[in-house]
Chain A
Amino acid sequence: MLMEERALPIVIVGHVDHGKSTLIGRLLYDTGCLPPDKFSEIQHSSETLGRNLEFAFVMDCFEEERSRGITIDTTQTFFKTPKRRYVIIDAPGHKEFLKNMITGSSQAEAALLIIDAFEGIRDQTRRHAYILGMLGFKQVCVLLNKIDLVHYSQDKFLSLKGEVIDFLNQLNVHPTFILPISAIHGDNVAKPSEKISWFDGPTVLQALDTFEPLKIEEKPLRFPIQDIYTIDGKKTIVGRIEAGELKKGQSVYLLPEKKKVEVKEIKKFLEKDVSIAHFEESIGIRLKGRHRVKRGQILTADLSSWISDQIKANIFWLDPTGYRVGEALLFRCVTQEVPCRIDKINRKFDPASMELTEEDASSIKGAEVADVLLQLDEKVAVDPFNEIPEMGRFVLEKEGRPAAGGIIL
């Protein structure tokens, strides 16, 4: 059993109709992770609509999705290889579902970018690749799908591969692999294919198995305070360890004040004498002495976090109504929630055209990506996204609804 290993979350992105859902159906089918009753339901549903067997129906469960042949929302599903379990996050390719694509991608640690070998790079390919770069993805595998439609041609593969590498490198995306596949026929997905015997690289499954989860447990402690409970008459601070580990008796800093405090006790339900708690654990703690504590403060092992009321970041705007400089927002990073506004838009991009549309702009439209300076009402503690992800990414709310996501580089 593979109980000890965390399932690696991967996202599959790419232009509409380039074969994302078909690939997922194929992965599930070829790894034996598709129950036969589900298989016959898909068969039935495909026949009802007068189509050949549609692997895409594994992921596309909404009635509209099946009849329109598109994916509306992100879906999570699981499959396993002999090495580990995977959670695949499917992401819609249509422009109007960009928000869902980012939601899906933000939970993944590795990405598969699928490109139709016949059609090549399209608008959504650009947009999605840009977002992968913005989200700081380091583990990316590009799949040149529908290689059957270009007659399994090595020349076609190599010329598109060159084009894809040039295009991605401009976006600071450096794919680990670029593979020729046919998801519909199963070529080079779970098994190598004789039809592309000229290709000596890995299959999709072999490529995925080389990816590794991040090692956040080895970073210095970050423990954001989530809430304060009174348990058996005693003040108990609850929260989740977002990096490193926490020991009983440890002396830690309380940010943003940088006050030194000592951890008197670690509390878990039905466990006695807990001496250590690790990354990702949701625990309770008690501090030695009396201290004013509140949600949003962060306990840390060192003072390497950046403490400021001004933050430079990359943001992607999700809300269709857009933003004008000066409008009120709420900054949310771990349990920190602080009113803020965008003070300056240094640059902004339209991911589809890849064009820098304005310098020193005064507004951001829906689906645009921008490099901005945030001015907050109070100081917050943050870290670079590539050091401690949870402390380096945030959400901006406008009128109580999530309007943008951001990354601190």
Chain B
Amino acid sequence: MDHLTRLENKSIYIIREAYYQFKDIAMLWSVGKDSTTLLWLCRKAFFGHIPFPIIHIDTSYKFPEMYQFRDARAKEWHLNLLIGRNEEKLKEGMGPGSGSKLDCCNELKTNALKMVIKKYHLKAILLGIRRDEHGIRAKERYFSPRDSQFKWDYENQPAELWDQYQSTVEEEEHFRIHPILHFTEFDIWNYVKREGLPVVPLYFSKNGKRFRSIGCLPCCSPIDSEAQTIDEIVEEIRISKTSERSGRAQDKENIYTMQKLRALGYM
């Protein structure tokens, strides 16, 4: 079995295990390449009929290309798409310019997600995070319990032995499930290429710049790149010496911002 097929099959096993253990489950789709890969793996796991909703947490600050991509895929793949927004804070004018980036991410992403989880009584959500993205994410488990405050008790994580995942959930608790934790950025692009997956056009170079990681428009900066095709992106990443999230502002404020965000329940 080749490397990508191995990664794919492990993810499918985890997705099916999550669905067996939790019927009140949904997938979080940021529209980026990682969660689009996860979405594709969910389609594979259920032979094209995903039996749970797909949630997009919309900060309202996403790139227009991301909204277009989201709506086109939702239609094409017959997704049960739910949109989660922190309307109250958006009305108050919360945005990347109005305070610290930590507060903005926390309100428009984490708290918007909390609202969705509460509204739909979700006991588990599938997320497309990867171990190689960030040192803190490398510490994650496939099945990661969170309390009602979304706190991640990273010093006291459950043992995860041999694909036996803890699934008992207390009242007020939910699980974060990470089926593509073992993919690297390089694997993702090779997989996108092999499967012929569509991705948001922002990843491709325009006027010598492209986005290597996408989130909210004001907080993402493009990298210098001439990569206009998936093949060129694969080659660029293969020889790249900088890490993927170097263009993401929230990682720059302070070296422990990501840890703090995640402890508060950030994705």
Contacts and interface: CB of A to CB of B under 8 A. Distances in A.
A103 B160 contact: yes
Interface residues of B, number: 52
B121 interface: no
B20 A295 contact: yes
Interface string A70-82: 0011111110000
A332 interface: yes
The secondary-structure label for the interface of chain A is mixed
Contact of B138 (A35, A61, A402): A61
B23 to A, nearest CB: 11
A102 B159 contact: yes
B139 interface: yes
A195 interface: no
Given A36-B242, A106-B162, A231-B49, A78 B132 contact: yes
B241 interface: yes
B249 to A, nearest CB: 15
Contacts of B13: 226, 240, 282
B35 interface: no
Contacts of A270: 44, 48
A393 B49 CA distance: 33
Given A35-B243, A76-B138, A7 B47 contact: no
Nearest to B12: A282
Contact of A269 (B47, B132, B259): B47
B101 interface: no
Interface string A221-233: 0000011010100
Interface residues of A, number: 63
A229 B161 CA distance: 26
Given A72-B155, A73-B154, A267-B47, A402 B3 contact: no
A161 B214 CA distance: 52
B242 A229 contact: no
B139 A405 contact: no
Interface string A1-14: 01111110000000
Interface string A375-409: 00000000000000110011101011110010000
B102 to A, nearest CB: 15
Contact of A282 (B4, B45, B168, B246): B45
A397 B16 CA distance: 21
Interface string B149-163: 000001101111111
Given A45-B255, A267-B47, A280 B6 contact: yes
A278 B242 CA distance: 37
A99 interface: yes
A100 interface: yes
Interface of A: 2-7, 35-38, 41, 44-45, 59, 61-64, 72-78, 99-100, 102-103, 106-107, 217, 226-227, 229, 231, 236, 238, 240, 267-270, 278-282, 284, 295, 318, 332, 389-390, 393-395, 397, 399-402, 405
- A-B CB proximity, top 3 nearest: A400-B168, A61-B135, A282-B12
Interface of B: 1-6, 9-10, 12-13, 16-17, 19-20, 43-49, 131-132, 134-136, 138-139, 154-155, 157-164, 166-168, 182, 184, 190, 240-243, 246, 255-256, 259
5 contacts: A7-B3, A61-B136, A226-B13, A282-B12, A405-B159
